């Protein structure tokens, strides 16, 4: 059976990568709709051509309602207001959704969770399979090594990034702290200079590097007496997120209506996101 995939934000940075990722997935997945903002100057363009893979005959339209009946799963990487409008339409037409948009307020998140009761939704702030695997490995590493090692988190990004540490570094810190029963707000150390004194075992240190075109590097070090374990992830392109989102779309087709995340897609957790204990939920 072919799973018909639609993309909202099709002309955006992620939208273009998603068009390519759906084409690369091949097999059961087929791109059947590409949607942009009604104000976009790219309405009428060929989505394949925009993404650089060559014409695929899927024309970018300015309204999801126009193409909703051609879609089984919608992949949405846009802006919160657009995503919420799209969830309402998908819920009304029983279309599953993969949501990568970030920046929802608490009220918008609650609205999204209510809408997701009617349809299967997979939402994650980082769809990279590798990052999600690292979060799982970190939980195990923290449980085994955390009590007897000093934990330090290093991250590096391109020179245009305006916030630090990265959201992914903070997620890594949250996972490690939760596994050790520590409160990250209490134990995080975000910079060191001058007479710092000896390191306290319970602290979790963060170090940030900014430069050039680094897409995103993260390393968590567990440094004990006589040995050191390091868990590293390096992203080299947006395809890491796009491939994860397409994998989620494949996994989601035909599931029960609920709110899932990449932990479910990768088989790390059976329980959907909203029914999971709080300390187990991923950082947004």
Measured in whole angstroms, the distance separating CA 155 from the mean position of its chain's CA atoms is: 17
Does 126 contact ligand NAD by CB under 6 A?
yes
Task: Please identify which residue in 3, 5, 7, 14 interacts with ligand NAD, judged by CB under 6 A.
Answer: 14
> Is residue 116 close enough to count as binding ligand NAD by CB under 6 A?
no
Pick out residues in 209-268 that bind ligand NAD (CB under 6 A): 241
Catalytic residue among 157, 185, 233, 250: 157
The answer to the question of residue 40 lying near ligand NAD (CB under 6 A) is yes
Q: Please tell me whether residue 132 binds ligand NAD under the rule CB under 6 A.
A: no
Tokens read off for 6? 């639609």
Q: Report the DSSP beta bridge partners of residue 188.
A: 204
109 in contact with ligand NAD (CB under 6 A):
no
45 binds ligand NAD (CB under 6 A): no
Residue 157 designated active-site: yes
| Choice between 37 and 203, CB closer to ligand NAD | 37
Beta bridge partners of 258: 120
Buried b (16+ CB within 10 A) or exposed e, 183-208: eeeebbeeeeeeeeeeeeeeebbbbb
The distance of closest approach from Cβ of residue 93 to ligand NAD in the complex, given in angstroms and rounded to an integer, is: 16
Q: Does 134 bind ligand NAD (CB under 6 A)?
A: no
Residue 203 CA to residue 183 CA, distance in Å, equals 10
Beta strand 29-35 pairing with 227-235: unpaired
3-state secondary structure of 215: coil
102 is a contact residue toward ligand NAD (CB under 6 A): yes
User: In the chain, what is the greatest distance between 2 CA atoms, to the nearest angstrom?
Assistant: 65
The binding site for ligand NAD (CB under 6 A) comprises 8-9, 11-15, 35-37, 40, 77-79, 82, 100-103, 124-127, 241
């Amino acid at each position: 059976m072919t799973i018909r995939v639609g993309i909202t934000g099709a002309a955006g940075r992620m939208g273009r990568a998603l068009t390519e990722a759906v084409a690369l997935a091949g097999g059961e997945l087929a791109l059947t709709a590409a949607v942009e903002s009604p104000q976009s100057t790219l309405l009428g363009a060929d989505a394949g051509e925009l993404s650089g893979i060559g014409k695929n005959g899927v024309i970018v339209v300015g309204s999801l309602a126009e193409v909703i009946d051609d879609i089984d799963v919608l992949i949405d990487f846009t802006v919160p207001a657009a995503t919420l409008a799209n969830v309402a339409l998908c819920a009304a037409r029983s279309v599953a959704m993969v949501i990568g948009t970030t920046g929802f307020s608490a009220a918008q998140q609650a609205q999204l969770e209510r809408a997701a009761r009617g349809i299967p939704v997979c939402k994650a702030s980082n769809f990279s399979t590798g990052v999600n695997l690292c979060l799982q490995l970190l939980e195990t590493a923290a449980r085994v090594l955390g009590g007897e090692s000093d934990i330090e988190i290093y991250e590096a990004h391109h020179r245009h990034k305006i916030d630090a540490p990265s959201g992914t570094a903070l997620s890594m810190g949250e996972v490690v702290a939760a596994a050790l029963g520590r409160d990250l707000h209490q134990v995080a150390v975000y910079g060191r200079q001058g007479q710092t004194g000896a390191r306290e075992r319970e602290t979790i240190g963060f170090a940030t590097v900014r430069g050039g075109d680094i897409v995103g590097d993260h390393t968590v070090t567990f440094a004990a007496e006589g040995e050191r374990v390091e868990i590293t992830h390096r992203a080299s392109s947006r395809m890491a997120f796009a491939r994860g989102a397409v994998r989620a779309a494949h996994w989601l087709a035909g599931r029960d209506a609920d709110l899932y995340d990449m932990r479910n897609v990768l088989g790390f957790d059976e329980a959907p996101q909203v029914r999971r204990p709080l300390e187990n939920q991923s950082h947004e």
